[in-house]
């Protein structure tokens, strides 16, 4: 589950727990990120996120980590890739990812 990936338990706002994180960040495919300087796959340190094309996969299976804390010491934040101002607030785990990226309806 996405909540397991980012290390928080309160992501109920996402509603359907089978939703993909790309649906949450408001894109239909990570391909739209293709022309940004860094791919999410590079930021989180995996070779490919192409498996996201299969909507039955959870983000946790894709990146293969139990917590996005691994992003902490990387110089590029995932926020730069998806085009939001900051995901650093995830560090204190007091906010839901939906609040961070400005999506409240899920």
pLDDT at residue 36, rounded to an integer = 36
Tell me the pLDDT tens digit for each residue of 47-103.
334 434 333 334 444 444 333 333 443 333 454 444 444 444 344 333 444 444 443
Q: What global pTM score does this model have?
A: 0.19
User: What is the per-residue pLDDT across 36-51, written as a single tens digit (0 to 9) for each?
Assistant: 323 444 444 443 344 3
Please report the DSSP string for 55-79 in residue order: TTS-HHHHH--S-GGGGTT-SS-HH
User: Residue 85's pLDDT is what?
Assistant: 41
């Amino acid at each position: 589950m996405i909540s397991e990936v980012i290390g928080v338990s309160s992501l109920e706002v996402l509603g359907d727990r089978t939703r993909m994180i790309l649906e949450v960040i408001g894109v239909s495919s990570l391909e739209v990120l293709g022309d940004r300087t860094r791919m999410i796959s590079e930021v989180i340190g995996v070779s490919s996120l192409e498996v996201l094309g299969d909507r039955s996969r959870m983000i946790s299976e894709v990146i293969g980590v139990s917590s996005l804390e691994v992003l902490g010491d990387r110089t590029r934040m995932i926020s730069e890739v998806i085009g939001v101002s900051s995901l650093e607030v995830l560090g204190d785990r007091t906010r839901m990812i939906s609040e961070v990226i400005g999506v409240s309806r899920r």
